[in-house]
Amino acid sequence: MEYAKNILETIGNTPLVKLNKLTADLPCLVLAKYETFNPGNSVKDRMALQMVEDAEADGRLKPGGTIVEGTSGNTGMGLALAAIVKGYKMICVTTDKQSKEKIDILKAVGSEVHVCPTDVAPDDPRSYYSTAKRLGEEIPNSWYVNQYDNPSNAKGHYLSTGPEIWEQTDGKVTHFVVGVGTGGTISGVGKFLKEQNPRVKVWGVDTYGSVFKKYHETGIFDEKEIYPYITEGIGEDILPKNVDFHIIDGFTKVTDKDAAVYTQRLAKEEGMFLGNSAGAAIKGVLQLKEHFKEDDVVVVLFHDHGSRYVGKMFNDDWMREQGFIK
């Protein structure tokens, strides 16, 4: 018999899938690292398990403990799965910008969810960063994960996602393109790939309303870059420790409208029913066209599943309200 001993053993080893229609105008091969095959339907299962196991190993997380995290949903799902299998309580702190589906899904896997306002500064006591940190201090035997600054986040990708991409492409990958939020995915995968072949180029996909691109290009943390945006999962108003700017060759910014429209197009034209950051990521690849030549192998990572966006990017009434479609 061949079976996994628990759901956590099914994390990773996701397929690499060729894009065909949306990328028809590009000279190169474009392959999607298709992370919705993870049990929590997102890449975040990988780093969640790494963060939990590293915290268990050095005693930050003790038997019967409570895991507290500020999460837009996917990290919460990954942590919740680890908490269930390993016997911890899970508390997720999120913002009122997140889709209702994401919040309901966290509750479905036994997590307690606290919803905080989006339009407050990160250091405001009402922000989800501050609330998660405070709960981690107040609740006895609890551990505040802090995926933004926790080095096990990028480490998880360095140890699993990166090596998988290298092996699946027989070392032929030339470019890695991915949306950036905490920075764990780009930094961990990018570091691994560049260690194998320093010529691999690593591109981050950013949103309008986020600080990354300007900071990377100028070294200036420009508060004028910060304003509310719709795209989910990527872009930040802080500089997380997990973003290793030295590993990244450049950023491209994708508009909210393009990210939403391309999320729909991935589903309708490639049969890839994915989250909003996948739409941003594939539009980012198309924007980088001039950087690619014929024999290049471009890997773009798609973070999560479309089911979490049925009330938004997959709802034409919502798309019209935003002015994204007519």
Which residues are near ligand PMP by CB under 6 A? 72, 74, 179-186, 233-234, 275, 277, 303-304
179 or 209: CB nearest ligand PMP? 179
Least distance (Å) between residue 196 CB and ligand PMP: 20
For the record, the structure tokens of 28 come out as: 């190169």
56 or 244: CB nearest ligand PMP? 244
Helix crossing, 256-270 with 276-287: angle to 10°?
Answer: 100
Least distance (Å) between residue 114 CB and ligand PMP: 18
Least distance (Å) between residue 3 CB and ligand PMP: 29
Cite the active site residues: 44
162 or 233: CB nearest ligand PMP? 233
What residue type is assigned to position 257 of the chain? K
Cα–Cα distance measured from residue 43 to residue 304, given in angstroms and rounded to the nearest whole number: 7
233 or 284: CB nearest ligand PMP? 233
74 or 111: CB nearest ligand PMP? 74
Provide the 8-state DSSP code for 229: -
Least distance (Å) between residue 59 CB and ligand PMP: 26
For the record, the structure tokens of 115 come out as: 């919803």
232 or 270: CB nearest ligand PMP? 232
Least distance (Å) between residue 76 CB and ligand PMP: 10
Q: Mention every residue, 6+ apart, whose C-beta is less than 8 A from residue 182.
A: 147, 148, 153, 236, 240, 242, 243
Residue nearest to ligand PMP (CB): 233
Q: Mention every residue, 6+ apart, whose C-beta is less than 8 A from residue 101.
A: 307, 308, 309, 310, 311
Least distance (Å) between residue 48 CB and ligand PMP: 11
Q: How far is CA 112 from CA 72, 76, 77, 104, in A?
A: 14, 10, 12, 10
Cα–Cα distance measured from residue 324 to residue 326, given in angstroms and rounded to the nearest whole number: 7
Helix crossing, 44-57 with 74-86: angle to 10°?
Answer: 50
* Cβ-contact 297, 23 below 8 angstroms: no
Cα–Cα distance measured from residue 49 to residue 149, given in angstroms and rounded to the nearest whole number: 16
